[in-house]
Amino acid sequence: MSRIDLIHTDDARVARIVLAPNEITTKHFHSGVVEHVVCLDGCIEVHDVENRTEVTRLVPGKVREIRPGVVHHLINALETESEYLLIQNGNYDFVSVDS
């Protein structure tokens, strides 16, 4: 994963993130952060871990909102790099969840 932070304040973060082919992010949640994942290139899958049937497949221009407390992870669904814009609003925290 490569990340470029574009905005970083006490109550907002915006980053441009590139996932390697088939890369999977750490399962996690945020206590007080609303996230918006905007696919820029490729195909990003957003997995709601607690509701295994809820998988959102994002292609360029598509957006998924993730509410506080939702355990999730992202997967690059392609054999090439995929890129997304991550917009986070709220008091940032990152709580990793064991598999």
What is the domain partition of the chain in residue ranges?
2-94
Mean pLDDT of 19-30: 96
pLDDT digits (tens, 9 = 90+) for 47-99: 998 877 789 999 999 999 999 999 999 999 999 999 999 999 998 889 999 86
Mean pLDDT of 9-18: 95
Q: Which residues contact 54 (CB under 8 A, 6 or more apart)?
A: 47, 48
pTM summary value: 0.92
pLDDT at 99: 60
Mean pLDDT of 15-44: 97
CA 80 to chain centre: 18
pLDDT at 16: 98
| CATH 2.60.120.10 for domain 2-94 | yes
Residue with tokens 């995929």: 82
Residue with tokens 């109550």: 11
